[in-house]
Amino acid sequence: MEVREAGDGAAAGECDREPPKKYSWAEVRQAVHDLRKELSSLSTMVPMAICFRKLSCGKTRVYFLRTPQNGWETLLYTDVLPSLQPSNARLDWKPLIKSNVALGASTGKCSKEEQLLWERQRVAAWGIASYELHKETGRVLFPCASSLFIAEEGRGQSPPILPRSLSTGGGAPLTPAICPSTARLVAHAARGDIWLAGDCLGSPTRLTYACKGKDDRLLEDPLQAGVPCYVTQEEFSRYTGFWWQPKSDDDIYRIVYEEVDESDVKIFSFPSSNTASGDVDEFRFPRAGTPNAKSVLKLVTFRLTKSSPTNITVRRVLGEASSPTEGMDVTDVRWYEMRSPLKEMFPWFEYLARVGWTSCGQYVWAQILDRKQQILELVLIPLAEFNVSSHYSHGETQNDDPTQMSEQNNVDPSKIQVLLRETAPDSWINVHDIFYPLTNCTSCTGTNCTCATFKFIWASEETGFLHLYVITSNIQPDKANVVNTGIEEMLSEDENNASGPNIISKEAITSGDWEVMGRKIWVDETRDLVYFVGLRETPLERHLYVASITPSESGITLLTTVGHSHTVDMDDDCTVAVITSSNISSVPVTKVYNVCHTGGRVTLTQYGSLLERPMLDYLDPPFNGTWDRMGDGDENNDIPLLIKERSLSTIEVPPPQIYSTRLSCGMTAYCTLWRSRHAGPRPTVLHVYGGPEVQIVTNSYKGIRQLRMHMLAARGFTVVSVDSRGSKHRGRAWEAAIRGKMGQVELDDQVEVLQWLAKETGCIDMERVAIHGWSYGGYLSLLGLATRPHIFKVCVAGAPVTSWRLYDTAYTERYMGSPSERHNAYSRASVIPHAPFFPDREGRLLIIHGLADENVHFCHTAALLSELVRLGKPHRVQVYPGERHSLRTMHAAKHYEATLLHFLHENL
């Protein structure tokens, strides 16, 4: 990677400017069609969602999702033998399932629930979007088109396997999960409750009865079990609401789950995404300053018993029997609440950010946050805490025989343990996924855990950057000596009715002015090693590192190559790694490595490259003046244009360049520049996001994800993207600069970098600059035109926030505080008061919005339009009926691209 600094380019004005050229709508549409074909070379077939399984023959099978050149996203695999000598052999992609099954399923209609889940997960897939592997049996479970499928080797089957569907109940199955101890059982959420499916069952079984099933009367149905509320999914990236107990030595199956009560959350109506119906959809959405959903943790247990011959016969007569091998009934279903709900134990508790089980199966752990997201506690909940029977008023009642209930509670009662507490009074706490309990429960036997201490790996931003720590906490205070390290704030039992935190020791594994990525670590407890992805070399590159869990002089070892950014997956034993590497100018390459240990050193030895079998290119049909969903005018072409692989040599796509500069505040900012093929100052588009939680500028190949930047550059525009203060992975001080100041410091940085880059490169015409962005970028685009009309000649704002009072609680209050307490800050951050300052000249403002957007509601645009109309301000609006926050259909995406290009050509 070459990060350019001052003095790399020609001075502005050295070359003559080209006069702007006008294009007709038909010409721009044709240009979009042609550019999409040419730029399809940017698409890359990189394996995703990688899982590993040890085979009996000694090989490791690597599973992954990807799109073969001739079809939809599907399940693929390759086998590796770690003991082989280093090589660069090509490891072919092999289909795990028959491709026609996935293709057939993908053509089915997806439910509204699936569409909304994909919106929250930012999934853009046409086939299999996710799967789960049961590593002991090799069973693979995947949802597709409102159905569940199982693929399993054995019984005379070998890949490619013909999957079989599972009978599910209650609607589209969401977030399915295989039972860890019995692979033939699958739990899933559907229509607001948890269901049990499996080919060993005669029919699906409903496990909870929170939801009344009144889909058309949302007001009367505020409860749901196993499904997180909107803000938990959207703002905390937790999409499941139930968790299987990992193991048990009795015959009881246990699932801890979240029950959500949205009684106090306001209901809003939006035009349906099914535009032909004319219907409206209702959603519960908590705006800033209004009540959130309430979450409680509960437990459901059940047993399996063999079906009687009569029951099996009846099911087969009714057509409910799914296979001749089923013969189990779900019996003795019981529901339990916590002895003391979390809200009673922790009155400040607002958000249930993360939940899981310890490996011994005797504790549930949870990360809980206060409403301001400035206090986080990691709590350990003994299984014995779930000892109060719960009845669903419209479900089946349970047997309250105390002798039977005591089977659930044979662990000695104990309080909830607070493992640690973190505070961020001057900013906010960023929730992450790094919590790894180490195997120190050697004294656990079945359902009786007598461990006095609890040792785990945790990530914390207490130094200003996210780093790893190994912590030992006392979970039985009378059995260990507590050392106050001074790092954690201790709480008394009177403050939260729970024990702890009682930290015996806390040692840093990593440190420095750089971040560990907060998504995944891999732990080799046998060798006392932890592997992680971090940004030590540069904030622009992700690398794999290894360090000792017990702090040592050996420090941290870099395992990947500098000059590239890497995505990493490792097996549970930390013996095989799959790493995809790229940089801003080179396409991704995925390789399989053996993790080797020699003389106390850890190295990666390449085993092979994970490449697709070569396939012939598909011919592109001629443009016929229409845009269908899949192709470019050919209704019989079922191959999406965006996934066609071409050689990069078929089109000259100049790679973008990364620049850095020191801001006036003293911090360093990074930006990406896409040059057009024309010399001299060019009309320029500042493509902005600028909001928190996102990092745009990295030394990695983004390809088709930056299609529109390349498209703009190909049409003669210079394109610039800047990571301003508030963006991700630069430390707490960098992020927290926007606290209470949204829309202010970001634009200051964006304009400062743009002006510096114009002087340094000579390719930016500061008299012809457009600002364009989507979502938070749309918000900044509007503010840019209203507050800096002398800088920005044109604004194109997509799905913009215009008032933070209209956005959701968790996101808005995290960065802005409560609207009742920060009234002036909310007013300063709003676009609406700036309406009088929008230009009076026509052709400077274009607003784009999907009418069915359930994230940034169309009322944001409507509120601004009302003011603009009242003030007589010229503007143009492009509405996409049926589209949500992301433009999902191909014809809408292409129409948007043509609208953007046409508007820029006309007015810039």
For residue 514, pLDDT beyond 70: yes
Mean pLDDT of all residues in 320-329: 57
Whether 633 shows a pLDDT value over 50: the answer reads no
What tokens appear for 3 in the block?
A: 């990060």
CA-closest candidate to residue 708, choices 897, 899, 904, 898: 897
Six-digit token pair at 457? 């790996």
Predicted confidence at residue 646, as pLDDT, reads: 34
Confidence band of 450 (pLDDT split at 50, 70, 90): low
Q: Which of 73, 95, 49 is nearest to 613 (CA)?
A: 95
- Asked if 129 and 73 count as a contact pair (C-beta separation under 8 A), the reply is yes
How large is the average pLDDT for residues 558-570?
98
- Say if CB 65 and CB 119 are below 8 A apart: no
**411, two tokens:** 């662990």
Q: Tell me which architecture the domain covering 654-907 has in CATH.
A: 3-Layer(aba) Sandwich (3.40)
Pairing of strands 375-382, 417-423: antiparallel
pLDDT at 627 over 50: no
Single-letter amino acid code for the residue at 626: T
- Is residue 683 pLDDT above 90, yes or no? yes
If one compares 395 and 353, the residue with the highest pLDDT of the two is: 353
DSSP one-letter string for 282-310: EEE--BTTSPPPEEEEEEEEEEEEEPPHH
Select the more confidently predicted residue: 243 or 4.
243
Marked catalytic residue, from 687, 723, 853, 905: 853
CA atoms within 13 A on the CB side of 177: 20
Residue 356 binned pLDDT confidence (cut-offs 50, 70, 90): very high
Residue 156 has pLDDT above 80, yes or no: no
Mean pLDDT across the chain, nearest whole number? 84
- The pLDDT value recorded for residue 213 is 74
Q: Give the pLDDT band of residue 168 (cuts 50, 70, 90).
A: confident
- Tell which residue, 671, 348, 613, 640, has the closest CA to residue 495: 348
Spatial neighbors of 616 by CB under 8 A, at least 6 apart, are: none
Q: For residue 616, with 0-12 CB atoms within 10 Å meaning exposed, 13-18 middle and 19 or more buried, which class applies?
A: exposed
426 C-beta neighbours (distance < 10 Å), count: 10
The token duo for 69 is: 């050149």
Average pLDDT over residues 302-328: 59
Ranges of beta strands (E only) in 45-145 are 48-54, 60-66, 74-80, 89-92, 94-95, 132-134, 139-144
Which residue in the list 564, 687, 885, 905 is annotated as catalytic?
A: 885
3-state class (DSSP) for residue 711: helix
pLDDT confidence tier of residue 171, bands split at 50, 70 and 90 = confident
Query: Region 498-511: what's the mean pLDDT?
Result: 88
Categorise residue 484: left if φ over 0, alpha if ψ from -120 to 50, beta otherwise. Answer: beta
Catalytic residue among 43, 427, 700, 775: 775
The confidence band for 448, taking pLDDT boundaries of 50, 70 and 90, is low
Q: What is the pLDDT of residues 334-347, one digit of tens each?
A: 999 999 999 999 99
Do β-strands 516-524 and 503-508 pair in parallel, antiparallel, or remain unpaired?
unpaired
In the DSSP assignment, the letter for residue 83 is T
Report residue 629 as tokens. Answer: 């969903």
Residue 18's pLDDT band, with cuts at 50, 70 and 90, is low
The more confidently predicted of residues 135 and 157 is 135
Is the link from the previous residue into 501 a cis peptide, with omega within 30 of 0? yes
Question: CA angle at residue 322 from 317 to 323, to 5 degrees?
Answer: 100
Q: Where residue 621 falls among pLDDT bands split at 50, 70, 90? A: very low
What residue spans define the domains of the chain?
Answer: 24-45+619-653, 654-907
In this structure, the dihedral spanned by the alpha carbons of residues 249, 250, 252 and 258, taken in order and rounded to 10 degrees, is -30
Q: DSSP per residue over 641-700, as a string?
A: GGG----GGGS--PPPEEEEEE-TTS-EEEEEEE--SS-S-EEEEEE----TT-----SS
- The pLDDT of residue 275 is 66
Q: Which residue has the higher pLDDT, 324 or 799?
A: 799
Q: Could you confirm whether 885 is annotated as catalytic?
A: yes
Of 411, 475, 434, 53, which is closest to residue 248 (Cα–Cα)?
411
352 or 160: which carries more pLDDT confidence? 352
The percent of residues in the chain predicted with pLDDT above 90, rounded, is 63
* The pLDDT value given to residue 137: 92
**Do residues 793 and 767 make contact, with C-beta atoms less than 8 angstroms apart?**
yes
352: pLDDT strictly greater than 80: yes
Compare 514 and 66 and report the one with higher pLDDT: 514
Can you tell me the mean pLDDT for 819-838?
Answer: 97
Q: What is the DSSP string of 157-184?
A: B-SSB--EEEP--SSS-EEEEE-SS-TT
pLDDT for position 17: 54
- Read off the pLDDT of each residue in 417-437 and give the average, rounded to a whole number: 96
**Chain segment 56-109, per-residue pLDDT in tens:** 888 999 999 987 655 567 899 999 887 666 677 788 888 898 866 544 444 446
SS3 content of the chain, % helix, strand, coil (to 5): 20, 35, 45
- Least Cα distance to 122 among 898, 774, 588, 736 occurs for 774
* Each residue's pLDDT tens digit, 175-226: 999 999 999 999 999 999 999 999 888 889 999 999 987 656 678 889 999 9
Categorize the per-residue pLDDT at 252 as very low, low, confident or very high, splitting at 50, 70 and 90. Answer: very high
Q: Is 241 helix (H, G, I), strand (E, B) or coil?
A: coil
840 as an active site residue: the answer is no
Sign of the C-alpha dihedral, residues 14, 16, 17, 23? negative
